[in-house]
A and B are shown apart, each in its own frame.
Chain A
Amino acid sequence: GEDVEQSLFLSVREGDSSVINCTYTDSSSTYLYWYKQEPGAGLQLLTYIFSNMDMKQDQRLTVLLNKKDKHLSLRIADTQTGDSAIYFCAESRYGGSQGNLIFGKGTKLSVKP
């Protein structure tokens, strides 16, 4: 199938690191994405990684890709209450295109003060 799987909930304390995991199915996917959705809002692209990379770091965000296991993770360092949101993992159906994406169901991150 073409499911992207994510755990549904994650709860952390403010200041801790959060790690959100995702598994995907299409080994030919060239780009993998992380989006953030706050309540009542649209999706905001956080970061993406090209499939020939193992890791990408962008300020507090670190993306790790294990292509062999089709496993993607997003680490948020020093998690803040403003990071509370739903985080979606997505893979591209066509190389590089962000228009036709397959999304996971989202991981709801709750940050406790």
Chain B
Amino acid sequence: NAGVMQNPRHLVRRRGQEARLRCSPVKGHSHVYWYRQLPEEGLKFMVYLQKENIIDESGMPKERFSAEFPKEGPSILRIQQVVRGDSAAYFCASSPQTQNTEAFFGQGTRLTVV
């Protein structure tokens, strides 16, 4: 009974490269959420997706960041042309539905931009 699986756990990218972060939700969960945690900060909401739909992307930077949750396969958070300020831990959470249910968090992907 696997929980939320994120990979890679650690990712190093040079400035200007692309970063792709993957999140496999708990089996049967159709709601996925991405959060970013900067050093010494709390988690900041980025985006909420259901299968094939973006429900709320109010926390996503307007440029370079995109997210998808296809019908088959994991959810992907994509960061194009990474900059040093993108270095952070990115957490994914999933839930079977939104109301009154627990969202389970993955262990995060720690992105370092050099």
**Interface bracket on B:** 20 to 34
Total interface residues on A, using CB and 8 Å?
A: 24
How far in angstroms is the closest Cβ of chain B from A99? 4
Q: Residue-by-residue, is A23-40 near B (CB-CB < 8 Å gives 1, otherwise 0)?
A: 000000000000100001
- The answer, yes or no, to whether B69 is at the interface (CB within 8 Å) is no
Which of B4, B95, B102 meets A42, CB within 8 Å? B4
Chain B's closest residue to A101 (CB) is: B45
- Does A105 lie within 8 Å of B41, measured CB to CB? yes
A42-B45 CB under 8 A given contacts A96-B98, A99-B31, A100-B56: no
- Does A42 lie within 8 Å of B101, measured CB to CB? no
- The answer, yes or no, to whether A45 is at the interface (CB within 8 Å) is yes
> Which residues of A are at the interface with B, using a C-beta cutoff of 8 A?
4, 35, 40-45, 88, 90, 93-106
Chain A's closest residue to B103 (CB) is: A98
Q: How far is the CA of A88 from the CA of B93 in the complex (A)?
A: 15
Q: How far is the CA of A105 from the CA of B43 in the complex (A)?
A: 7
Residues of B within 8 A of A88 (CB): 42-43
A42-B105 CB under 8 A given contacts A94-B98, A95-B99, A98-B93: yes
- Does A98 lie within 8 Å of B45, measured CB to CB? no
Residues of B within 8 A of A93 (CB): 45
A-B contact pairs, 28 of them (CB 8 A): A4-B42, A35-B105, A41-B108, A42-B106, A42-B107, A43-B91, A43-B93, A45-B103, A88-B43, A95-B99, A96-B98, A96-B99, A97-B98, A98-B98, A98-B101, A99-B31, A99-B33, A99-B48, A99-B93, A99-B98, A99-B103, A100-B45, A100-B48, A101-B43, A102-B45, A103-B35, A103-B44, A105-B41
How far in angstroms is the closest Cβ of chain B from A19? 19
Which of B40, B42, B102, B107 meets A104, CB within 8 Å? B42
